[in-house]
Structure 1
Amino acid sequence: MLTTTKEATAKLKTSKPRLSFWQIWNMSFGFLGIQFGFALQGGFMSRIFQTLGADKEAIPMLWIAAPLTGLLVQPIIGYLSDHTWHPRWGRRRPYFFIGAVLSSIALFFVPHSSALWMAVGFLWILDASINISMEPFRALVADKLPESQRSYGFITQTLIIGIGTWVASNLPWMVSQLGVSNETTASGGIPMSVQVAFAIGAFVFLTSVLYTIFTTTEYPPEDLEEFERQKQQKKRFVADILDNIKTIPPTMQKLGLIQFFSWFAFFTMWSMANPALTEHVFQTPMPVKSAYDMASPAAAKAFKVASTAFQKSSNQVGSYMGIYGLSSMVFALLLTFYTAHRRINRKLVHMGSLIAGGIGFISMYFVPSPQWLILSFTLVGFAWGSILSMPYAMLSSSVDPKKMGVIMGIFNMFIVIPQIVAALGGVNIAYKLLGNQTIHAMIVAGISLVIAGLCNLLITNKNAITYQPNEVVTSTK
């Protein structure tokens, strides 16, 4: 007897085939572009804000666009992608494309902002657009891979993210080495090196996402007729999201606590590393224009010299920050080879990596010269590599696969809420408890990562810790 399409689809979904490395690579390659966007945003938005006249104390608040858009966009996109199916374009890929187009446009125009309010506005658009693409990429791994390959899949994503972080973080330095000007424009605008770097990032974002769209297929819903029927009957968009929030599994709640301290730390780095390191390590803070008598040629020249020194140091800070992408790539590469054939204890890997990253942040206060930042950011990269893989692997093994998109979107609320707390004064209040120097923000980031690492001790769900293909797991803690 011939198997019906419905039965064949159900069989495929309940027993997903193992994918090759290159199939997993293709479905994750779009993350290269997404990370170009995030790395350029994370490494250089504070620099853009300072160049346009922002006070360093105001920088975290100017960053609030990023977490707020994530809070709103990711659960919505997750829900919509769960309830989308197109015979040719699938479930997640339409959102990849929409987000990639909008992100590329925003990336190109961000460094052309002529006023601070314009840069802040473009950050809102950029972060919302990146989130449209990013959330479905997380869900795609859970959609396509069997349980035994989940860790492998998320770690492969982390490998690609590491490559993107390192290259994108070095782009302004690279193009300045090719002779592109690194000085602020005559009107005080963003240096040409930054403008060119963001244009390259826009191109890479769009092309890498298109590569994934055209090289990856998606599985249809288990029961396509039932899927369409439920989609027509259930128009409870907001109510469904709220219902899922109310019924968050215990493991997800505990992972949320880990995520809170992890992302508080990284938001602190993205928003404050440039002013902290240019001041404390490079001794070249952004000059305050009002402190110079610009009518005096000598004062105007002194301001330009100080401003150029700040821009050069900012390039170097971006390059050193790229080290954490490089080390996260090596971290992910080693785990990719290991998890291809063996299981790992996700909880212990995550705990150790976060504590190492915390030590890396704290060490920035003590470095005797800029070169030592290589070691600091290498340790931070271990934490970053783990943050981008282990929590998602643990979560995907403990939730309903039919709700993977909306669950991943809700889970990302645990990413954006700590960033909102940090932006609304959490960073400034916390670091000023240690002193008025901006470098104390890096110490706060380190302490936060150590706390996040220790919170892993709360995870007890065996399936989340290490997938057990031959064991029945009943614990829900």
Structure 2
Amino acid sequence: MKLTKPRLSFWQIFNMNVGFLGIQYSFGLQQTAINPIFLYLGAPEDMLPILNIAGPVTGLVVQPIIGAMSDKTWSPRWGRRKPYFLIGAIIGSICLFAFPTSPVLWFAVGLLWILDVGNNMAMEPYRAFVGDKLPEKQLSLGYQMQSLFVGAGILLAMGSIVLFQKIFGAEAVSDDGVIPTWMFYSFSLGGILSISTVLWSVLKTPEIPPSEEELSEINEAKSKPFMERVWQPFNEIGLAIKEMPKFMWKISAVYLFQWYALFVYWQYITPLFMKTMDYGISDAASQSAQMSLTYNIVTMVVALALVPLTLKFGGKKVYAFSLIGTAVALFSIPFIENMTLVLAPMVLFGIGWAAMMGIPYTMVSKAVPQDRRGVYMGILNMMIVIPMGIETLTFGPIYKYLLGGNAINAILFAGVFFIIAALLAFRLNEPKSEINE
């Protein structure tokens, strides 16, 4: 049955995406504050990749399963996707409040696992939620609005770090196991935002009821024996991979290099400043937070501006050139020793981040059937976390033995991978929609 979706106003699309602010605040802390906490608790630099393996593993397992489950869920009161990202936000909020109280390294690592489960549980249904609500002509605006909130959430996280360091002092910590005061306030703010912003979107945005055909499939799934229902998400994932559009196989190659490089950047930007500017951990973490502040301000500014550009030139070209700009930024950073000038390359990085967080989702949403959008968005996330998992397992030895334990070489290595990702992005063929609107 052909489904006609109503065109939504700008503010309806805005309200729908507000929850991404809290989710991305949490991810912002993971990018910049988690690794310094590990360092404060005594972790050696070459162990940082393996200590971050929680993100790839939980993303690989949680997102596609939750996506498949949400495809087969419907509640007249709570909807299809909203129950999942609301529960995920609650889990994430609890973990954020607990993180700066970590007494030892293993406790912080364990919390990261639980936090990632919550964030991934919230993230995947949210991607599908936006695609469910919007007609095809508004998909680009919807996903670039998510990109705007990605920038805003991470921007707020980084801003909180800078602000609370100024208020409470970015004190040097000489003893392992001591986490500075400013960390408590940044993480507590995240705990509040994680739940409050998602609640805003849940209460402000009703979901579109499933068609009679979809409802029949959902009820049929509910009537199956318990063990069959347990295995159903795994069967859905396997079938979806088997029938996956060719476009998604191509974008997986882009993602392999793009996300490997991003994980290297997030892990080694703080050690980079400890080397190039002779900073301690607190000062280096503060500088990396300012870098994130800068590129996420740019992301907020340009996210919606990319919508007309993608309509005029095509998503593929805008995406590929944005990746090249990101590579140029990473090639520049290690050779700039001025604290202010080092922020300049983040303009290019911010444009790239805005493109990465919006354009691929728009293209994929057009390529997959609506009644399986949840599982395919989960599979798209698998294409993110598999490279991250590969990075956590491989980059420690690469960093130690091939790159000489030098954070400068690590950032340059990431730049090369962005160039490869851009070249592969030029090979993408933008999909024709297979979605009934």
Scaled by the length of structure 1, the TM-score of the pair is 0.86
| Cα distance change on mapping 1:17 and 1:431 into 2, 3 Å | farther
Q: Which of 411, 414, 424 is the aligned partner of 1:445? A: 414
Asked if the contact 1:431/1:438 (under 8 Å) is kept, the reply is no
- Structure 2 unaligned blocks of 5 or more: none
Asked if the contact 1:156/1:336 (under 8 Å) is kept, the reply is no
Asked if the contact 1:19/1:145 (under 8 Å) is kept, the reply is yes
> Would you say 1:248 and 2:244 are equivalent positions?
yes
Counterpart AA for 1:274:
T
Counting only pairs closer than 5 Å after superposition, residues 60-209 of structure 1 correspond to structure 2 as 60-179=49-168, 182-184=171-173, 188-209=177-198
Asked if the contact 1:29/1:208 (under 8 Å) is kept, the reply is yes
Residue of structure 2 in register with 1:421 after alignment: 390
Residue of structure 1 in register with 2:334 after alignment: 365
Counterpart AA for 1:103:
G
What is the distance in 2 between the residues matched to 1:73 and 1:238?
Answer: 11
Residue of structure 2 in register with 1:230 after alignment: 220
| Cα distance change on mapping 1:117 and 1:165 into 2, 3 Å | same
What is the distance in 2 between the residues matched to 1:434 and 1:445?
Answer: 12
Aligned-pair CA distance for 1:239: 1.8
Q: Which of 254, 259, 266 is the aligned partner of 2:255? A: 259
Aligned-pair CA distance for 1:385: 0.8
Residue of structure 1 in register with 2:38 after alignment: 49
Residue of structure 1 in register with 2:293 after alignment: 322
| Cα distance change on mapping 1:108 and 1:266 into 2, 3 Å | same
Q: Identity over the aligned pairs, expressed in percent? A: 38
Asked if the contact 2:245/2:368 (under 8 Å) is kept, the reply is yes
Aligned-pair CA distance for 1:343: 4.9
What is the distance in 2 between the residues matched to 1:173 and 1:197?
Answer: 9
SS at match of 1:50: helix
Asked if the contact 2:28/2:154 (under 8 Å) is kept, the reply is yes
Counterpart AA for 2:398:
I
Aligned-pair CA distance for 1:398: 0.9
What is the distance in 2 between the residues matched to 1:56 and 1:21?
Answer: 45
Q: Which of 342, 350, 362 is the aligned partner of 2:319? A: 350
Counterpart AA for 2:303:
A
Asked if the contact 2:46/2:396 (under 8 Å) is kept, the reply is no
What is the distance in 2 between the residues matched to 1:368 and 1:311?
Answer: 18
Asked if the contact 1:82/1:406 (under 8 Å) is kept, the reply is yes
Residue of structure 2 in register with 1:299 after alignment: none
| Cα distance change on mapping 1:185 and 1:114 into 2, 3 Å | farther
> Would you say 1:331 and 2:321 are equivalent positions?
no
Counterpart AA for 1:211:
W
Residue of structure 2 in register with 1:276 after alignment: 272
SS at match of 2:33: helix
Aligned-pair CA distance for 1:383: 1.4
Deviations 1:357-407 (A, max 9, x none): 011111112113222221122211111111111111111111111100000
What is the distance in 1 between the residues matched to 2:174 and 2:187?
Answer: 16
Counterpart AA for 2:286:
N
What is the distance in 2 between the residues matched to 1:359 and 1:186?
Answer: 38
Residue of structure 2 in register with 1:290 after alignment: none
Asked if the contact 2:85/2:123 (under 8 Å) is kept, the reply is yes
Counterpart AA for 2:432:
N
Aligned-pair CA distance for 1:129: 0.7
Deviations 1:318-377 (A, max 9, x none): 1222212111112203225667xx555000000010110011111112113222221122
Asked if the contact 1:165/1:326 (under 8 Å) is kept, the reply is no
Scaled by the length of structure 2, the TM-score of the pair is 0.93
What is the distance in 1 between the residues matched to 2:340 and 2:47?
Answer: 29
| Cα distance change on mapping 1:51 and 1:187 into 2, 3 Å | closer
Aligned-pair CA distance for 1:428: 4.3
Residue of structure 2 in register with 1:33 after alignment: 22
Q: Which has the higher relative contact order, 1 or 2, with Cα contacts under 8 A spaced 6 or more apart?
A: 2
Bigger CA radius of gyration: 1
Counterpart AA for 2:419:
V
Residue of structure 2 in register with 1:303 after alignment: none
> Would you say 1:221 and 2:217 are equivalent positions?
no
What is the distance in 2 between the residues matched to 1:431 and 1:185?
Answer: 25
SS at match of 1:86: coil
What is the distance in 1 between the residues matched to 2:248 and 2:139?
Answer: 17
Asked if the contact 2:68/2:237 (under 8 Å) is kept, the reply is yes
Asked if the contact 2:367/2:431 (under 8 Å) is kept, the reply is no
> Would you say 1:375 and 2:341 are equivalent positions?
no
Counterpart AA for 2:341:
W
Deviations 1:244-280 (A, max 9, x none): 1222211000011111111111111121211122222
219-228 vs 163-172, greater mean Cα deviation: 219-228
Aligned-pair CA distance for 1:178: 2.3
| Cα distance change on mapping 1:393 and 1:427 into 2, 3 Å | farther
Aligned-pair CA distance for 1:230: 3.0
Counterpart AA for 1:383:
G
Aligned-pair CA distance for 1:54: 0.7
Aligned-pair CA distance for 1:143: 0.2
Counterpart AA for 1:266:
L
What is the distance in 1 between the residues matched to 2:254 and 2:220?
Answer: 35
RMSD: 2.2
Counterpart AA for 1:243:
L
Deviations 1:119-164 (A, max 9, x none): 1111101111100001111001110011111111100110111111
Asked if the contact 1:170/1:315 (under 8 Å) is kept, the reply is no
